[in-house]
Amino acid sequence: MQVIMVDREKCTQCHTCALWCGIEIGSVTKELNQAINEEPKPVPRVHVEGNNLPLHCRHCEVAPCIDACPNGSMRRDPKTGLVYVHEPTCIACWMCVMVCPFGIIVPSSSDHGAIKCDRCRNMEYPICVEVCPTNALKLQETRTGLPEGDSHYAQYSKGLEGSW
């Protein structure tokens, strides 16, 4: 599975990933100047928090959100391993929101459903990785859900130690 890795030394917290995620994935118009004034407000799937850490869905191997979903709306793509919300059946009960250990999933009342990063599974390349001006975000192959070799990249469990 390919996941998004964050190089915390390169991240400047510029929020460019969140801005473009909101435009490309969250908005109706997909145009910067229209999207920023859209109502309801587009919801980015990536969140930049303190300590230079853009938070994306980790697509956990044992995903609590899938287990918690009462009607099977939280699903895993068998080909890519990516976890996504099947929007037509989501009942907005927010169980997934409560169990996500990373706080990735956003309860959206306007969309009547849970919103989360699906790593742009229907696009060739995740938009956040494409727009990151410092190349702090990279798409990387992993077998275990954690990056191999390159210890420079923050592993999520490690990355969160500082802020918790």
Partner 1 sequence: MEFVQKKTADSAVEAFLSKAAEKGISLVWDRYEGSLPQCGFCDTGLNCRDCLQGPCISHPFRDGSKVGVCGKDKDILGVHSFLRLVVHGAMAYLDQLIDFADGVRAGQGSPRDKGKANKLTKDVQTLLSDGGAGVLGEFPKALTDAWKAAGVYPEGVAKDLFKASQKLDGGTSGVQDTLLWAFKGALLGCVAQVLQGRLKAAVFGDASPGNVEVNLGVLQGEVPTVLLYGHFSPLLKQKIAEAAQGKKIGIMGVCTDPLIPPYSFAPVTNFGSQEIPLMTGAVDLIVAGDQCVNPSLAFLAEEWKVEVVQTETLKRGDDVGNLARKIIERAGKAFEARGKIAKDIPQVKESARMGFSAADVDMKKIAEALTGRKVKGLALLAGCNNVKFTQDQEIVSLARELLKKDVLCISEGCASVSLAKYGLLNPGNRGSSCGKGLSDLLLSVGKDLPPVVDLGSCENGGVTEFLLAMGKAPRELPLVACFPEANRSKAVARAAWTTAMGIPTYFWPYLPVTGSPKTVEALGDFCQKTFGAKLNVLTERMEPLEKADLLMKGLKRA
Q: Can you give the binding site for partner 1, defined by CB under 8 A?
A: 14-16, 18-20, 22-23, 26, 31-37, 41-44, 47, 131, 133
The owner of tokens 């060739």 is 124
Distances (CA, A) of 94 to 46, 70, 107, 109: 18, 10, 6, 10
Q: What gap in Å lies between CA 62 and CA 78, rounded to an integer?
A: 14
DSSP 23: I
- Report, in Å, the least distance between residue 40 CB and partner 1: 11
- Report, in Å, the least distance between residue 70 CB and partner 1: 29
For partner 1, the closer of residues 55 and 95 by Cβ is: 55
- Report, in Å, the least distance between residue 74 CB and partner 1: 23
For partner 1, the closer of residues 18 and 85 by Cβ is: 18
For partner 1, the closer of residues 47 and 58 by Cβ is: 47
Residues 6+ apart with CB under 8 A from 50: 13, 163
For partner 1, the closer of residues 77 and 130 by Cβ is: 130
- Report, in Å, the least distance between residue 23 CB and partner 1: 7
Of 30, 117, 20, 19, the closest CA to residue 65 belongs to 117
